[in-house]
Amino acid sequence: MGSLNFGFNDTRGDKVEVSVLREPQISAVRAREVLDCRGLPTVQVDVVVDDVFLGRADVPAGRSRGRHEPVELRDGGRRFGGFGVRRAISSVKDVLAPALVGSPAAPQRLLDARLVELDGTPDRSRLGANALLGISLAAARAVAAASGQPLYRHLNADAHVLPVPQINLINGGKHASNDLDIQEFTIMPVGVSTFSDSLALSSEVNLVLHDILAKRYGKAAVNVGDEGGFAPPITEPTEALEQLHLAVEQAGYSDMVVYGLDCAASHFFDAERRVYVLAGKSQSREDLISFYESLAKNWGVVSFEDPLEEDDFEGFAELTRRLDAQIIGDDLLVTNRGRVAHAQTLGAGNALLLKVNQAGTLSEALEAARQAVQGGWSIVVSERSGETEDAFISDLVVALNAGQIKTGAPVRGERTAKYNRLLQIEEELGSAAVYAGLSYRRPC
Ligand code: 2PG
Ligand code: MG
């Protein structure tokens, strides 16, 4: 928060200096195209407040997108295979910047409401969700800079919980060029006492897994997918889990790790026949639920993300009743407060996957988080498969005291940027830092 200084002479003629706190003012908004980790363009926005404080943010992009996500403006045509974002850049420069410069950058809620109003469509299709989000995140950073605080503390003075990472070591689905239908096979190091130990453990398991896969399937098996996990030529989900278990065991961490899946089931759902086609076999919803029960029982899977297709609230509710596990809605909820509330009334799941670009603005993501917590749900803050070096979500997960983050394997710059930022935050918090560990399912 900046201050406004002025002076006047009091009734005795003495000079009185007055300093009034005021919200930081937006001095400039700039935007440019930069590349994400897939080499596709994305929006980078700079917001400058009070002439000197810069906030910069990159907008992430998904590949296994939910049908209900807001519209990300892409240019089409030949340039970058149609993925250019010059239209979104022009939304920032030609429409949003002129409307915002000279107005307050905080409170965030009001700024974001203004962004939404300027777009004026329910799905952000006029100016683009990627344009709005870039400004929303960059403004939060600029205001944090103006207040002299790290982002996580600016967002929450009581931020102190370091998350359990869901480390994605085997990639399938839309994130890999193999025939594994389930998209992400993750380990969650719940049995260590610090975030840095959880990262060291994960990295060690990843190295062991590399050798196991190379030996069993040949060296091409250790090529990696979009989120840095290996993409071996496996089709059966249980075979992938078996390799993960072997790696964890050989690394000596069997009693410290639990397992998670992002099934991204919409992507192996045949909507016409209303069946799931998993590893070449057609399965009904009931078959799939029984299969998940067996994974929970035999393979230590405690967390299932998008286990069923993105509109099957009823199926999510059935699964949540049957399994003592974390059932996370990603494509189902698209970080939308209304969809979270609806799911809660049905008991459809018990955890929100929080992605800022699904929500559209930071405030809307925070609203969805608030709704999740009110209903007693847990929150997993998540990256997108198309990321940059921007580590906004690391500050966000600590700010929410959410206790879980999903940001890929512990390799590749766009992934390690998030983990490395968490290491910095852990150090900054010092003895105040609490690693979520086994309490990962307890909401903030
Ligand atoms: C998901 C995400 C991130 P994408 O399905 O959870 O892992 O994938 O960003 O491609 O939608
Ligand atoms: Mg997902």
> Which burial class, exposed, middle or buried, applies to 239 when counting CB atoms under 10 A from its CB (0-12, 13-18, 19+)?
middle
Average pLDDT over residues 139-155: 98
Query: Which ligand is closest in space to the CA of residue 174?
Result: 1
Whether ligand 1 lies within 6 angstroms of the CB of 91 is answered as no
Which atom in ligand 1 lies closest to the alpha carbon of residue 65?
11
Judged against a pLDDT cut of 90, whether residue 28 lies above it is answered with yes
**pLDDT at position 20, please?**
67
Mean pLDDT of the chain: 96
d(CA 7, CA 31): 38
Q: How many CA atoms lie within 13 A of 41 on its CB side?
A: 22
Which atom in ligand 1 lies closest to the alpha carbon of residue 60?
9
- The yes or no reply on domain 19-148 and CATH 3.30.390.10 is yes
Judged against a pLDDT cut of 90, whether residue 305 lies above it is answered with yes
The residues that are catalytic are 227, 355
Residues in the chain: 444
**pLDDT at position 439, please?**
87
Residues 6+ apart with CB under 8 A from 403: 161, 163, 164, 378, 379, 436, 439, 440, 441, 442, 443, 444
Judged against a pLDDT cut of 70, whether residue 236 lies above it is answered with yes
CB atoms within 10 A of CB 336: 25
Judged against a pLDDT cut of 70, whether residue 302 lies above it is answered with yes
Buried b (16+ CB within 10 A) or exposed e, 321-335: eebebbbbbbbbbbb
> Which burial class, exposed, middle or buried, applies to 246 when counting CB atoms under 10 A from its CB (0-12, 13-18, 19+)?
middle
Q: Where are the domains of the chain?
A: 19-148, 157-439
Average pLDDT over residues 345-367: 98
Residues 6+ apart with CB under 8 A from 428: 150
Judged against a pLDDT cut of 80, whether residue 26 lies above it is answered with yes
C-alpha 266 – ligand 2 centre gap (Å): 10
Q: Worst-scoring range by mean pLDDT, 20-24, 225-229, 299-303, 312-316? A: 20-24
Local confidence band at 14 (pLDDT 50, 70, 90 cut-offs): confident
Which atom in ligand 1 lies closest to the alpha carbon of residue 175?
10
Our mutation pick for probing the ligand 1 site, out of 38, 63, 64, 167, counting the most ligand atoms within 8 A of Cβ, is 64
- pTM passes above 0.85: yes
Which atom in ligand 1 lies closest to the alpha carbon of residue 408?
7
Average pLDDT over residues 277-281: 97
Our mutation pick for probing the ligand 1 site, out of 226, 304, 352, 385, counting the most ligand atoms within 8 A of Cβ, is 385
Number of H helices, E strands in the chain: 14, 18
Dihedral over Cα of 297, 301, 302, 304: its sign: negative
Local confidence band at 7 (pLDDT 50, 70, 90 cut-offs): confident
Whether ligand 1 lies within 6 angstroms of the CB of 384 is answered as yes
Judged against a pLDDT cut of 50, whether residue 444 lies above it is answered with no
157-439: what CATH class?
alpha beta
User: pLDDT per residue over 80-130, tens digit each?
Assistant: 999 999 999 999 999 999 999 999 999 999 999 999 999 999 999 999 999
**pLDDT at position 148, please?**
97
Per cent of the chain over pLDDT 70 is: 97
Distances (CA, A) of 299 to 12, 191, 259, 405: 81, 17, 8, 22
d(CA 108, CA 362): 8
**pLDDT at position 19, please?**
66
C-alpha 144 – ligand 1 centre gap (Å): 28
C-alpha 264 – ligand 2 centre gap (Å): 5
Whether ligand 1 lies within 6 angstroms of the CB of 229 is answered as no
C-alpha 104 – ligand 1 centre gap (Å): 33
d(CA 274, CA 168): 29
Residues 6+ apart with CB under 8 A from 252: none
